[in-house]
């Protein structure tokens, strides 16, 4: 047999580029309040009312209690309700990514590298949107004069707490205590480990408790306990060693996403570098926690 016969072997190639497994779009953007405005910052105005005690006749409470049939000598002063005005603020940050392809490269390849790289960068920017949302969920929220820390009253669990059915019900209880309208859509953002635990919870998968048989067609639970369930691999570990994880449960009113410039990807010739193709992606946005009572931080052990 000829020793050089392998030189005649036929090689075949894909005519399209296969993008390897990766998150392809933002999974959380639909669950926040979005504001599109061409500005460097945006103020999210809030108004809260001081607690009112109707058993007192003090004008400072904003309410007066009148006994049935009581006689009043003349008109009474108009109550003054003491509302609290505040604002949260976003300050735009720019995020971009780029790459270059030499002019002769597309002519020597069976695939168009420009299209493949542009698609890859667009998916990268989609993941960056989730990073912006997650990183600002629990950090101090900027105000007109300073910052507001995440309230300890909105934190459940700790780094040793397992993900359980009782913890899910505790989240629902906290929303009720905060007087959040039960009809307000909620989302629970969890990691893959918590989805595995969720699939082992009888109340989430057994037809005696839920109408949808989660395991019949899908390998995950998408809706349960009045919440949409989203799995993210980008959630943060409070200790940084990966043994624990911060989960997020919120309504759309919790976070404000200010988009000054949405995701854009462009391909063009670079005249300064031998007319190489330049692939560039760009976005400008920021996120801030607007309503503290609409978001719960759940810290659990991220163990199998």
Q: Where are the beta strands (DSSP E) in the chain?
A: 33-36, 41-49, 83-91, 93-101, 141-142, 147-148, 155-157, 186-190, 223-224, 227-231, 244-251, 255-270, 276-289, 295-301
* Overall size of the chain counted in residues: 304
- Give 19's contacts (C-beta < 8 A, 6+ positions apart): 116, 119, 120, 123
CATH number of 29-46+86-301: 3.90.1690
- pLDDT-derived band at 158 (thresholds 50, 70, 90) equals very high
Tens digits of residue pLDDT in 212-237: 655 555 667 888 888 999 999 999 99
| Predicted local distance difference test score (pLDDT) of residue 178 | 95
Q: Where are the alpha helices (DSSP H) in the chain?
A: 113-135, 165-177, 192-199, 202-205, 214-217
The Cα–Cα gap between 57 and 66 comes to 9
Is the pLDDT confidence value at 112 over 50?
A: yes
Q: pLDDT for 71-94, tens place per residue?
A: 556 666 676 667 778 889 999 999
Instruction: List the beta bridge partners of residue 148.
Output: 141
- Which two tokens mark 119? 């698609």
Mean pLDDT of all residues belonging to the chain? 82
Instruction: Enumerate the domain spans of the chain.
Output: 29-46+86-301
- Is the pLDDT reported for residue 19 higher than 80? no
Higher pLDDT, 194 or 117: 194
What is the structure's pLDDT at 289?
A: 96
Mean pLDDT value of segment 288-301:
96
CA torsion, ordered 293, 295, 300, 304, to nearest 10 deg:
150
Of the candidates 171, 211, 204, 202, the residue with the CA atom closest to the CA atom of residue 187 = 171
Higher pLDDT, 243 or 66: 243
pTM above 0.75, yes or no: yes
């Amino acid at each position: 047999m000829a020793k050089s016969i392998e030189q005649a072997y036929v090689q075949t190639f894909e005519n399209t580029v296969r993008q390897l497994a990766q998150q392809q779009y933002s999974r959380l953007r639909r669950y926040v309040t979005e504001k599109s405005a061409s500005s460097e910052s945006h103020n999210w105005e809030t108004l809260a009312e001081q607690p009112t005690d109707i058993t007192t006749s003090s004008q400072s409470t904003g309410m007066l209690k009148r006994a049935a049939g009581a006689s009043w000598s003349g008109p009474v002063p108009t109550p003054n309700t003491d509302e609290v005005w505040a604002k949260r603020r976003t300050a735009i940050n720019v995020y971009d990514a780029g790459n270059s392809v030499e002019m002769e490269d597309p002519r020597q390849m069976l695939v168009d590298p420009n299209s493949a790289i542009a698609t890859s960068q667009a998916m990268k920017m989609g993941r960056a949107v989730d990073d912006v949302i997650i990183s600002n969920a629990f950090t101090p929220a900027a105000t007109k004069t300073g910052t507001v820390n995440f309230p300890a009253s909105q934190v459940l669990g700790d780094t040793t707490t397992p993900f359980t059915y009782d913890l899910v019900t505790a989240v629902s209880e906290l929303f009720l205590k905060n007087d959040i309208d039960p009809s307000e859509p909620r989302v629970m953002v969890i990691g893959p480990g918590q989805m595995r635990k969720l699939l082992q919870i009888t109340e989430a998968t057994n037809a005696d408790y839920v109408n949808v048989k989660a395991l019949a067609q899908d390998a995950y639970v998408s809706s349960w306990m009045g919440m949409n369930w989203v799995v993210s691999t980008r959630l943060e570990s409070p200790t940084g060693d990966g043994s624990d994880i911060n989960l997020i449960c919120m309504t759309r009113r919790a976070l404000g996403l200010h988009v000054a410039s949405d995701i854009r990807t462009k391909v063009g010739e670079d005249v300064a570098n031998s007319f190489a193709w330049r692939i560039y992606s760009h976005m400008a946005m920021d996120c801030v926690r607007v309503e503290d009572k609409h978001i719960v931080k759940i810290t659990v052990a991220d163990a199998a």
